[in-house]
Amino acid sequence: MIFTTRFAPSPTGPLHLGHAYSAMLAHDMARENNGRFLLRIDDIDQSRSRPQWERQIFDDLAWLGVTWDEPVRRQSEHLADYTATLEGLAAYGAVYPCSCKRRDIEAAASAPQEGQPAFGPDGRIYPGTCRGRAFADRKPEDALRYDLSKSVGRYLPFFSETGPAHAGEHEVTAAFLLNRVGDPVLARPGMAASYHFSVILDDANSHVTHVVRGEDLFEATFLQRFLQWELGLSPPIYHHHRLIRDDAGQRLAKRDDARALARFRAEGATPEDIRRLVGLPTG
Ligand code: GLU
């Protein structure tokens, strides 16, 4: 299997120093291993994606010296594939429509027991309100959720060197997924697939062997590992890197224009300066 990694930004805002670090780290790893480095445009959320940001991504990466192996994959070009996979999964009876809005979930979730968190990697842990609904009842304004209770009992985490078997002090067991993750969203209203569902299909489709991404996605990984198991996909190896933070110690976000690469470029920084700023070897 050829060492294959990827950088998968969403074209919803400018790339900042954190993106540059992630992209250059993954790119360096691919080149050191004579592997492939892929660029994927995660534009599943068409309401927030903009061509101008996609153009800026290409431009910033080229400026950084990051070169990618063609073709570029765009999620928006594969919507029918996500839907087909989702319908295949639904045939097993584990996918249900959900009309709950955030405030409904908050109201329905009884106060979590002591020591139990209210939030997991897919947002507020879903109390199961719509679990009894049939897939065929789906209305356009519904999301689709996966009923973990249907199969999680059979789940023997195939965690080894390829991914997290533990989340902090917790082992990622069936009970852990049920109590600390909850039924994940597979598709939001008006969208063919959720983030978790689309990325595991994309990574598998592109034969990604190594996912290099920030440690803010560590929790997302054990949910995605479960979905991979459910779909019979072979999991990549995950490498979670440290986050680049601002001077106040906060992680950078798309709205942090001050850290946008475009800003550094306009002020005359060089790609070597950026490597130094994020702590990557230069020269
Ligand atoms: N589009 C996702 C992001 O920018 C990709 C995350 C991932 O690596 O799975 O956060």
- Split at pLDDT 50, 70, 90, the class of 152 is confident
CA of 252 to the centre of ligand 1 (A): 14
Rounded distance from Cα 72 to ligand 1 centre (Å): 15
Q: Are strands 36-41 and 69-74 parallel, antiparallel or unpaired?
A: parallel
Q: Which residues are CB-neighbours of 25 under 8 A, at least 6 positions away?
A: 212, 241, 280
Which CATH topology does 78-206+217-235 take? Rossmann fold (3.40.50)
CA-CA-CA-CA dihedral for 92, 94, 98, 104, to nearest 10: 170
Q: Pick one of 3.40.50.620, 3.80.30.20, 3.30.2130.10, 1.20.120.420 as the CATH number of 1-77+245-283.
A: 3.40.50.620
Kindly indicate the confidence band of residue 158, based on its pLDDT and cuts at 50, 70 and 90. Answer: low
Mean of per-residue pLDDT scores for the chain: 90
Structure tokens at 215: 């440690």
> Which is the closest atom of ligand 1 to the Cα of 224?
9
The residues lining ligand 1, judged by C-beta closer than 6 Å to any ligand atom, are 8-10, 42, 199, 213, 217
Other CB atoms within a 10 A radius of the CB of residue 206 amount to 19
Cis amide prior to 281 (ω within 30 degrees): no
Distance CA 67, CA 45 (A): 25
Domain with CATH 3.40.50.620 in the chain: 1-77+245-283, 78-206+217-235
Q: Whose CA is nearest to atom 8 of ligand 1?
A: 213
CA gap 156, 146 in Å, rounded: 18
**What percentage of the chain carries pLDDT values higher than 70?**
90
Distance 189 CA to ligand 1 centre (A): 20
Average pLDDT over residues 146-160: 75
Minimal-distance CA residue to ligand 1 atom 9: 199
Backbone angles phi, psi at 69, to 5 degrees: -85, 135
Q: In this model, does residue 218 exceed pLDDT 70?
A: yes
Centroid of ligand 1 to alpha carbon of 8 (angstroms): 5
CA nearest neighbour of 20 among 236, 279, 249, 210: 279
For residue 247, the model assigns a pLDDT of 75
Check: CB of residue 252 under 8 Å from CB of residue 16. Answer: yes
User: Which atom of ligand 1 lies at the shortest distance from residue 10's CA?
Assistant: 1
Atom of ligand 1 nearest to the CA of 42: 1
| pLDDT average, residue stretch 222-251 | 87
C-alpha 134 – ligand 1 centre gap (Å): 31
Q: What is the CA(201)–ligand 1 centre distance, in A?
A: 13
